[in-house]
Amino acid sequence: MNPLLARLQPYPFERLRALTQDITPNPALRPISLGIGEPKHPTPPFIRQVLADSLDGLASYPATVGQPALREAMAGWVQRRYGVTLDPATQVLPVNGSREALFAFAQTVIDPTRHREAGGPIVVCPNPFYQIYEGAALLAGASTAFANSDPARNFACDWSAISDDTWARTQLVYVCSPGNPTGAVMPLEEWARLFELSDRHGFVIASDECYSEIYFRDEAPLGGLEAARKLGRDDLRNLVAFTSLSKRSNVPGLRSGFVAGDARLLKAFSLYRTYHGSAMSPVVQQASIAAWNDEAHVVANREHYRAKFARVTPLLAEVLDVALPDASFYLWAKVPETLGQSDTEFARGLLAQYNVTVLPGSYLAREAHGLNPGAGRIRMALVAEVDECVEAAERIVAYVRSL
């Protein structure tokens, strides 16, 4: 058995099940879950129709690099969205959802034979974070270091807390913008700082941007490729962006996304994926082409989230320290210290008394620099329809006031 598997920590939802296994929720109330960030809005009918019309593709083996028309559709979307021109043949690669790509990418770029004398390679992650980053790092033979988010700076990562010795051993940095769970968007100044560190130390940046199309301001979130272009880094060196149709188009079961950026890195990643057996089904490719080429359904989806957050956020703000995020479909709320409850105690009590599931923030972070930046917070995924989310918010308000 691979001994590195023993380094993996339980997934947050596994920990949540263990936390609440002895609880019998209030049977008088129907269960409402704000725990898992799984889009619940209906899949657009035109995507379903393309899938049905493309079933002949099941008779063919797909190529790892995908059809030229798919890569062109992806590159076209990047051009329209970010103003960045990509070579579809060398700078775009389809993937089966961003999750598997974020994991596999670390296996491609981490060299466990480097930095051995200093203690081995390091992968730097935001904190709190998407746990795939940590698992990918550990199974690639690296260790992890964490940059805590700072609530006083719109939850920006404190990259200055990472020591020079750690940066010297860093081979990969994961960023998530818009962030999970905070919803914060990285500004251009933060990208400039990260690019400068990458140039100095030679590490690769993996930019997780799967929430980029759900936002609440007039200006769309800045992306990594866009930031590179604005800063004159037209070669996109040491940068790969990851995105997906799951949230944008409400097709989490389609498992379709792409990576884009440094052609040198994508050439190596393509080789890895050829052996990994990660080719996208021709049926999914056709549906993906249709989805990337249409924006009307994305605008409608975004407006649905905006209406939902406009109703739920003010309700919760009456009793919790919470505000509308820059983007994403999460609310990252602080439990009032006056309640005398930890985030795990709050989650248990809310489930028992009001049958609402939320995720303790401490489960999404690690102890780093003397604290767990998720402690005392809860993450709420507003993925259900408006009425259900409003009902959940009303129950949370009632629970807090009962305390």
CATH architecture of 3-42+297-402: Alpha-Beta Complex (3.90)
Query: Domain ranges in the chain?
Result: 3-42+297-402, 59-294
How far apart are the C-alpha atoms of 397 and 319, rounded to whole Å?
A: 6
Q: Helix (H, G, I), strand (E, B), or coil: what is residue 113?
A: coil
Find residue 173's DSSP bridge partners. Answer: 124, 205
pTM of the model: 0.96
Q: What is the pLDDT along the chain (403 residues), one digit of tens a residue?
A: 999 999 999 999 999 999 999 999 999 999 999 999 999 999 999 999 999 999 999 999 999 999 999 999 999 999 999 999 999 999 999 999 999 999 999 999 999 999 888 889 999 999 999 999 999 999 999 999 999 999 999 999 999 999 999 999 999 999 999 999 999 999 999 999 999 999 999 999 999 999 999 999 999 999 999 999 999 999 999 999 999 999 999 999 999 999 999 999 999 999 999 999 899 999 999 999 999 999 999 999 999 999 999 999 999 999 999 999 999 999 999 999 999 999 999 999 999 999 999 999 999 999 999 999 999 999 999 999 999 999 999 999 999 999 9
Radius of gyration of the chain (CA): 21
How far apart are the C-alpha atoms of 249 and 285, rounded to whole Å?
A: 14
How far apart are the C-alpha atoms of 132 and 146, rounded to whole Å?
A: 14
How far apart are the C-alpha atoms of 120 and 11, rounded to whole Å?
A: 25
| One fold for 3-42+297-402 and 59-294 | no
How far apart are the C-alpha atoms of 69 and 64, rounded to whole Å?
A: 14
Q: E-strand spans in 152-277? A: 156-157, 170-176, 204-208, 239-244, 257-261
Q: Which residue has the tokens 């199974």?
A: 139
Question: Do residues 191 and 227 lie in contact, with contact meaning Cβ atoms separated by under 8 Å?
Answer: yes
DSSP string, 35-76: SS----SPPPHHHHHHHHHTGGGGGSPPPTT--HHHHHHHHH
Contacts of 339 (CB under 8 A, 6+ apart): 346, 400, 403
Indicate the CATH number for domain 59-294.
3.40.640.10
What's the one-letter identity of residue 316? L
